[in-house]
Structure 1
């Protein structure tokens, strides 16, 4: 009898509870992404001026950022998102500054835009849906990247 209980306990321990597809967040529903963004600071949903795709504008710890939606069909039913923050500081930072950041950090790709302003981006794959906690974790990584980039590269506390 003890062996049967041990086998049953092992089988039950190995089973996981499936996440229902309706609980997953993907880029087809910008409002759900917006709700998660609001858990990290102010955030509003609008559209990107260049593409008319959905775009979230938010602030984390006082830093303005955007979430752009990509892979959209007729400005809806998007597949991916990307976090982006920019700072107006033409000529103040070098490619070496951006390369040092990119070489030493896992999250947040840095570069200088066409006006030589620093930009930090982080794509997030949510195409097939992620649990809310997973998306919240991506927001946490974004917050860490923003904080680190401001401190290490921009030298803003």
Structure 2
């Protein structure tokens, strides 16, 4: 194969529609990408006038929050996140145990004692639909692992989940 033929093959692969990059700096595109990945997605505006997307996985809601935005668009990053209501189980020791064993999905306890799980991603440079779907499916899988981790800890403590 000639050098020109090889270069044309590479250019065709780059230009393939399934490899198109999504502009995830635009919150509306994140809604579309979530829906294309098979998730429900609804754009919302918080009390500070900032965009976020409401979705769900594993029977529980999660949101996609945006950071470094220029108004309601051109966001630099986004975060998949969900909250668990306060339980005595939620301590720094629990979060340290989870975070030491899990690199990307992190947890933290806020000043009210509520537990938050979160995964940050850059919106700069874009992702293919396949990459975005993989990210959300990975978040979903880790959300399920976190639920199991918390269930095991509750069982060991003889505690019940918060309602």
TM class, shorter-length: 0.7 to 0.9
Q: Structure 1 residues 29, 105: closer, same or farther in 2, change over 3 A?
A: same
Long gaps (5+) in structure 1: none
What residue number does 2:77 align with? 80
**What CA deviation, in whole Å up to 9, does each residue of 1:51-78 have, x standing for no partner?**
x221001111211111001110123211
**1:135 matches 2:132:** yes
More helix by share: 2
Q: Give me the TM-score of the superposition, normalised by structure 2.
A: 0.78
The residue correspondences of 1:62-141 to structure 2 (distance < 5 A) are 62-141=59-138
When the two chains are superposed, the root-mean-square deviation of aligned CA atoms in Å is: 2.6
The alignment of Structure 1 onto Structure 2 pairs a total of residues equal to: 147
CA displacement at 1:126 relative to structure 2: 2.3
Aligned to 2:26: 29
Whole-angstrom distance in 1 between the partners of 2:16 and 2:122: 18
Give SS of 2:127's match.
Answer: coil
* Correspondence 1:8-27 to 2 at 5 A: 15=10, 17-19=13-15, 23-27=20-24
